């Protein structure tokens, strides 16, 4: 790495850090959610070195996890954090990263050879390639799992003790089918369907236990 690359990378981390700690500036704005989008900058700067894609995504997932942890605490403490906004911005961050993963390797073709596979138009890390160190692969799986849990937890905190009809609960569960599929794939791809169904059933049961139908008083 040259001096210029180091300066750019540090700058990207500073930009992310500002949005991560934006609530401390007392601006009464929601720009703090931009941390989910800013996280893709330093992560993809590492990819340009080039870096093992699994390590790149570990960095990205850690940055997203820090933002999710901040917002989960905010939801729990009822500090102007909304689950809808959390889901919106983490989804935007994921979409932007997917777009970058489709474009960057086409611009810098050397990145294609760093243990990644093409899924449709997207060049994504292959956790089952066997090329990365086992500790790197395990860390990737753990960080990805924690990140998904921190997406689900704010939903549970936000909807707890609220009225929710059965169709609404089904919609909530359906939203998380894709994250559950991904977790199943990175851990046990041979049992993706079974694990995804298991995760979905567990989430549905939890939502049933913590929400109200609105008909309890009528009984």
- Give 51-98 as a DSSP string: --HHHHHHHHHHHHHHHHHHHHHHHHTTSS--HHHHHHHHHHHHHHHH
Which tens digits make up the pLDDT trace of 17-42? 999 999 888 776 789 999 999 999 99
pLDDT in tens, the chain (219 residues): 678 888 999 999 999 999 999 988 877 678 999 999 999 999 988 887 766 788 889 999 999 999 999 999 888 887 777 888 998 999 999 999 999 988 988 887 777 766 567 777 888 888 887 777 889 899 999 999 999 999 888 888 888 888 888 888 998 899 899 999 999 999 999 999 999 999 999 999 999 998 887 665 544
Q: What is the pTM of this model?
A: 0.88
State the sign of the Cα–Cα–Cα–Cα dihedral 21, 58, 104, 4. Answer: positive
């Amino acid at each position: 790495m040259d001096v210029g690359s180091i300066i750019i990378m540090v700058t990207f981390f500073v930009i992310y850090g500002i949005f991560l700690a934006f609530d401390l500036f007392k601006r009464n704005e929601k720009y703090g959610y931009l941390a989910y989008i800013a996280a893709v900058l330093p992560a993809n700067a590492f990819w340009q070195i080039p870096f093992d894609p699994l390590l790149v995504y570990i960095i990205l997932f850690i940055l997203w996890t820090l933002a999710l942890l901040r917002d989960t605490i905010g939801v729990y403490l009822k500090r102007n954090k909304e689950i809808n906004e959390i889901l919106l911005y983490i989804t935007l961050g994921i979409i932007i990263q997917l777009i970058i993963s489709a474009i960057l390797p086409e611009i810098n073709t050397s990145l294609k050879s760093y243990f990644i596979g093409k899924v449709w138009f997207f060049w994504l890390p292959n956790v089952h390639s066997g090329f990365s160190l086992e500790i790197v692969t395990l860390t990737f799986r753990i960080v990805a799992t924690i990140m998904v849990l921190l997406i689900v937890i704010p939903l549970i905190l936000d909807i707890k003790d609220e009225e929710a009809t059965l169709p609404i609960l089904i919609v909530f569960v359906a939203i998380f089918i894709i994250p559950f599929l991904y977790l199943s794939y990175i851990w046990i791809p041979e049992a993706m369907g079974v694990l995804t169904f298991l995760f979905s059933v567990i989430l549905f049961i939890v939502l049933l236990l913590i929400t109200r139908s609105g008909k309890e008083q009528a009984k």
